[in-house]
Amino acid sequence: MAESVYKVIELVGTSSESWEKAAAAAVQKASATLRDLRIAEVVELDMQLDDGKILAYRAKMKVSFKFEGGD
C-alpha cells in the first residue's frame, strides 16, 4: 500500500437552527473547494447570543483531506 499524507484544517460552521446543521454547512462548503475530504471531527460546540437569545449555533471542526503536494 502506498503511503499517504493528510492535511488537517479547522473550520467553524454556523446555523440559526442547530449544531448538526452548523457542522453540515461547514462540510458542504469545504467540499466545494477541497477534494478527498476524509474525516470531520467536531471539537467544540458553542452558541452566539444576544440579549439572552440564541442567534446562531456554531460547530468548530477539524477536517482532513488527502494532501497532494508537489514532489
How does pLDDT run along the chain (71 residues), one tens digit per residue? 578 888 999 999 999 999 999 999 999 999 999 988 999 999 999 999 999 999 999 999 999 998 876 55
Any idea which fold 6-66 has?
Dodecin subunit-like (3.30.1660)
Select from 68, 66, 63, 67 the least CA-distant residue to 28: 63
- Give me the pLDDT at residue 5, please: 87
In whole angstroms, what is the distance from residue 40 CA to residue 42 CA? 7
CB of 65 closer than 8 Å to CB of 5 = no
pTM comes to 0.83
- Give me the pLDDT at residue 39, please: 94
- Give me the pLDDT at residue 68, please: 78
- Give me the pLDDT at residue 71, please: 52
